[in-house]
Homo-oligomer: A and B are copies of this chain.
């Protein structure tokens, strides 16, 4: 029931994920059983590998994260994460209340051994591929050790999921020199420099899109602000293009073609391709989707979660944390 377009988009995306992979895995739909069953009928889903787990409650956007988990124990988020905790499912994805999913992941699942704070990472397009930025909003007022752990987890994620042999890790700051930054970043720089990670030093705001680093590390307060800023760029440009092309008839004619091309270009700035942001360092694979997730975003989120579970990302993180101690 998660997100602005549930259950329609959620179920459509899940059906696509199963069809595309020829039922390589099984999906457990968690939510009000009758609604889900009705919705699935329109997709002739008889051939698909799924089950429905009834959950009568929905955590909505106005609920507070931790309170709602306590009060709505029969919500799809609570039940879904509990299934993951019990090992009855291998991964949990939701386009619902981000804060509630994050709280459920940390409170119910617990942390991977050695991890101080689980983190969420966001994907940015770059001129060379993809940049994973973390923390994207789960942790504010981070200590240097937290930033170091984010770097470790981000390296493992990009190594396993994007087949990058030694991912380049950059520390987000306001100058490339080691002496630049705030107090926390200067301390984190020292920790990263001493580590075995492929640390390329400080990177600046402009380096996120340039592809200088595969993993960019920052406090969640900053990461979330940049993420939201970046997400607002496509809408801003569309408005501006409309204003500009409205001024001449020639431009108006070309406007359609322009908008089509622009749409393709801006797609890379969009969350849709990546599906959602993974939670790293919690005891169980969880991906948090955008509230406005399209069926494609849902599908990609499910495929990504299945891949994370299959590749044992959390086991890799645990091993690395133990070795790094």
Contact = CB atoms under 8 A, between A and B. Distances in A.
Given A127-B239, A261-B245, A224 B209 contact: no
A257 interface: yes
Interface stretch (A74-82, A187-195, A229-237, A288-296): A229-237
A15 to B, nearest CB: 30
A48 interface: no
Interface stretch (A89-97, A147-155, A262-270): A262-270
Contacts of A232: 205-210
Contacts of A220: 174
Contact of A140 (B181, B218, B224, B231): B181
Interface string A154-172: 0000000000000000001
A270 to B, nearest CB: 12
B240 A182 contact: no
B221 A205 contact: no
Copies per complex of this chain: 2
Interface residues of A, number: 52
Contacts of A137: 174
Interface string A239-268: 111001100000100110110011011001
A174 B258 contact: no
A321 interface: no
Given A141-B183, A182-B141, A265-B241, A229 B206 contact: yes
A83 interface: no
A133 to B, nearest CB: 10
A229 B205 contact: yes
Contact of A182 (B172, B183, B221): B221
A224 B141 contact: no
A310 to B, nearest CB: 31
Contacts of A241: 261-262, 265
